[in-house]
Amino acid sequence: MGRLDGKVALVSGGARGIGAAIAERFLAEGAKVVAGDVLDEDGRQLAGTLGAGLRYVHLDVTKPADWDAAVAAAETDFGSLSILVNNAGIVTFGRIDEYPQEQWARIIDVNLTGVFNGIKAAAPALTRAGGGAIINVSSIAGLRGYEQLSGYTASKYGVRGLTKSAALDLGSSGIRVNSVHPGVIETPMTAGMTFDTGHVPLHRTGQPPEIAALAVYLAADESSFVTGAEFVIDGGETAGTVAPPAP
Ligand code: NAD
């Protein structure tokens, strides 16, 4: 018996990285999954690999009409919608005094307004299903500042705050809303970047399936009393700083 038997999930940014790992693990736990992304080729490839339990749809999270179509696909193809994972995101770097206004507008649009759009589009369907779970992927950059990351950090703090307010608004509909705050995870987003993990208590970066494992808990009925909460999954990075391991 799977931990998500009978549930239907919509995962944004589901074509690769953390979103694809969540989609794969949800399927393994018995859910049906609609994965939405702007990377149609990657998404279709994933659907081919994971089989009929996963439907790929084109979804630009900045476009409310795309969200409506993705929610409709879940209800039409799989009968209902019970889980929304707002995972799509982008990152851009730059000192705040040099960060272009267009990049600021774009990162807020994708990382924050995209989450708002998703919640708005999915909430009626989740209510029709008798309740459900929304999981918003923020970051440890939603808990503390990072240099050269003002746009990303602002967007991820925004996701954390939006999560709290949405949890208050939707609790009476049986919809739980929580945020997830990963540290450095090895995905296409971080490929090519170098990270010093000497100060991180577990002295390593994380892997997408580790985030997927937390998402399963938050999506499943076993977390039925959990809402408006933030879940840090960062190898201890935000708990404090440890000395680098001896050479
Ligand atoms: P990724 O780049 O591998 O995956 C992100 C996905 O989002 C991609 O498939 C991309 O096409 C999609 N996407 C981007 N813009 C979109 C849009 N407008 N509409 C729909 N889809 C869009 O990155 P990832 O590391 O898997 O990141 C997933 C989430 O986790 C992001 O929100 C990211 O900010 C967050 N996160 C990642 C890390 C990390 O270290 N990798 C750490 C903390 C938080």
What are the residues whose beta carbons fall under 8 Å from the beta carbon of 120, sequence distance 6 or more? Answer: 64, 67
Write the pLDDT tens digit of every residue in 186-244.
Answer: 999 999 999 999 999 999 999 999 999 999 999 999 999 999 999 999 999 999 989 88
The average pLDDT across 23-37 equals 98
Q: What architecture does CATH give domain 8-238?
A: 3-Layer(aba) Sandwich (3.40)
Mean pLDDT score of the chain: 98
Mutate to test the pocket of ligand 1, among 187, 193, 231 (most ligand atoms within 8 A of CB): 187
Report the pLDDT value the prediction gives residue 53, as an integer from 0 to 100.
98
38 lines ligand 1 (CB under 6 A): yes
| CB distance 132 to 177 below 8 Å | no
Alpha-carbon distance 83 to 46, whole Å?
19
Lookup result for tokens 């994933």 = 46
CA gap 98, 100 in Å, rounded: 6
Residue in 56, 99, 146, 152 annotated catalytic: 152
> Would you say the CB of residue 215 lies under 6 angstroms from ligand 1?
no
State yes or no: is 152 an active-site residue.
yes
12 lines ligand 1 (CB under 6 A): yes
Residues near 247 by beta carbon (within 8 Å), at least 6 away in sequence: none
Q: Is the CB of 153 under 6 A from ligand 1?
A: no
Which atom of ligand 1 lies closest to the CA of 182?
43
Q: For residue 141, which atom of ligand 1 is closest to its CA?
A: 43
